[in-house]
Amino acid sequence: MNILGINAFHADASACLIQDGRLVAAVEEERFLRIKHWAGFPTQSIQFCLKAAGISVDQLDHIALNRDPKAHWLEKAIYAFSKKPDLSIVMERAKNAAKINDIKSIFSQAMGVSSRDIRAQVHHIEHHRAHLASAFFVSGFDEAAVVSVDGFGDFVSMMWGTGGKHRISCRDSVSFPHSLGLFYLAFTQYLGFSNYGDEYKVMGLAPYGQATEIEKMRRIVHLLPKGKFKLDLNFFLHHSEGVSMVWEKGEPVIGRAYSKAMESLFGSARKPQEPLSQHHKNIAASVQAMYEEAFFHILKYVHQQTRQSSLCLAGGCAMNSVANGKIFEKTGFKDVYIQCAAGDAGGAIGAAYSVWNETLGNSQAFKMDHAYLGPAFSEEEISLQLAACSLQLKEKNCVVEKINEKELCEKTALAISEGKVVGWFQGAMEWGPRALGNRSILGDPRRADMKDILNLKIKRRESFRPFAPSILREKVSEWFESDYDVPFMLQVFQVRTEKRATIPAVTHVNGSGRLQTVTSKQNPIYHHLISAFERLTQVPMLLNTSFNENEPIVCRPEEALDCFLRTKMDVLVLGDYFIKRLG
């Protein structure tokens, strides 16, 4: 049984493929097209998934999309009739929905096959049901509370319920125009971070401020009984004028979401190149505090109603790792599972597993305990790329060695301990937005100046943004105040007070760290490398950031080589090859 899951004509277009309930491949289109958050139809992602599964288009049994334009149609119609939104916005939404409904012809055209060759049945899965399925059906939990929080999808912004056996039961939801994701987006724009997906910058800035504006935030977000909330719509435009969204063949663009009332309350919005003042930092802290109040308001009610000890969390807001790190402290949940692509890309997995479990009635039997589901490259492919770049490597005064794994890890660990910046390219690419040790740039967490070194040599990003530690799972309790599996870098824990001075490069200004736990089962060579570094330094972790320079994470060997050559990276480890700059 072959099921293809797709997130199409939306940000983070993606595809996945499951065979007999087992996830065999998953990837985002941005990795191939090299445009962040690329929106459109994920042609190359689908081609990769089919190749990874060893099948052709005519062998697909089901195609599942994480959108259902028919969902909540009555509510949409009533709202449109009562509010009379801008006609151009309505037409834009209708055009996008038409593409989703016409997916079979679009699919055949994109794949270069006749529609007669597509025997697969097409399924449209409601957006938030797909989010819930994307977490629960790969969590390994027999039963759990399930919660999805994001901007909007199929007219809904939050949904919760329970998962068990082969079924998710949805208990309640919050609909348009009220949304915590929209709240966070509006303030992200207000603070001058205008690119799609910049909300993480607000989260990173928040610890530099104090929540001095929280009372004003409570005028904007109102908590209601039964875990619900509503926005004071005077501060937003999406419900009245509408917010333009461009989802076609490129980086997503979203128009301004906040109204002039927000500037009247908080002062003029920050321009993108304007210096960050303490006022801006305090607003960021207040936004994060307000989000957490509303988020835990939801989770506490869900826990009270479901009496489940386990929680599955999904949706774009599930990428808020700071809030996620407080779930055990603030709620009654004892276990949590957050899928590594919790945002819209992950909806492809949710749609596929919704068909496998709910439509076809299969019990869940797959647990996603690692993210290495993307393209991998053979030694021959890597050596061919090295040969093609031999002249450039020579011009950059680089030497290339091919060595065994033991020596490779020891030599790399030594280079990192000496303050070198290392590009690390191994195995299959990670699924989701985090670099998790296969497409990573690595550094020494002990060096207080490592953040500046990385920003100078490669990243060129805002100084307030933290870098993450990858730590051996068995050593977490020695270095952090919480001891839990965090394989996908989606929870922030406090670093133990006595350890903070030892690892300043991965300890944020408030003493926290967004950790990734690493086991030998999940990633043997990465675990081997961190262990080699520990033997040298007595520190069982590495600074880990994504292998890129203001672009999507590198996918192919040629992109890794290009990034290495155009930046001041010291070492590139490409499969079995150790490439070092001399001088």
d(CA 412, CA 418): 10
- Two structure tokens written together for 229: 């909330």
pTM over 0.75: yes
Q: For residue range 448-469, list pLDDT tens digits in order.
A: 999 999 988 898 888 899 999 9
DSSP 428: S
- pLDDT (0 to 100) of residue 211: 98
Q: pLDDT category, 236, cuts 50, 70, 90?
A: very high
The answer on pLDDT for 82 being more than 70 is no
Q: pLDDT category, 168, cuts 50, 70, 90?
A: very high
3-class secondary structure, 86: coil
For the residues 550-574, what does the mean pLDDT come to?
A: 97
Residue 142 neighbours by CB under 8 Å, 6+ apart:
164, 165
What distances in angstroms separate CA 196 from CA 87, 148, 188, one per listed residue?
24, 20, 10
Q: For residue range 117-136, list pLDDT tens digits in order.
A: 899 999 999 999 999 999 99
- pLDDT (0 to 100) of residue 478: 98
Q: pLDDT category, 245, cuts 50, 70, 90?
A: confident
Q: pLDDT category, 282, cuts 50, 70, 90?
A: very high
For the residues 84-109, what does the mean pLDDT come to?
A: 72
* Percent of the chain residues past pLDDT 90, beyond the cut: 88
d(CA 35, CA 42): 13
Q: For residue range 366-425, list pLDDT tens digits in order.
A: 999 999 999 999 999 999 999 999 999 999 999 999 999 999 999 999 999 999 999 999
For the residues 77-101, what does the mean pLDDT come to?
A: 64
**CA end-to-end span of the chain, whole Å?**
55
H-type alpha helices, 307-435: 321-324, 327-330, 347-353, 379-388, 390-395, 405-417
Kindly list the structural domains of the chain, giving each domain's residue range(s) and its CATH number in brackets, ordered by start. Answer: 2-129+342-359 (3.30.420.40), 173-338 (3.30.420.40), 379-581 (3.90.870.20)
- pLDDT (0 to 100) of residue 85: 60
For the residues 211-238, what does the mean pLDDT come to?
A: 98
d(CA 147, CA 438): 30
Q: 486: closest CA among 469, 502, 499?
A: 469
Q: For residue range 472-500, list pLDDT tens digits in order.
A: 999 999 999 999 999 999 999 999 999 99
Pairing state between β 245-246 and 14-19: unpaired
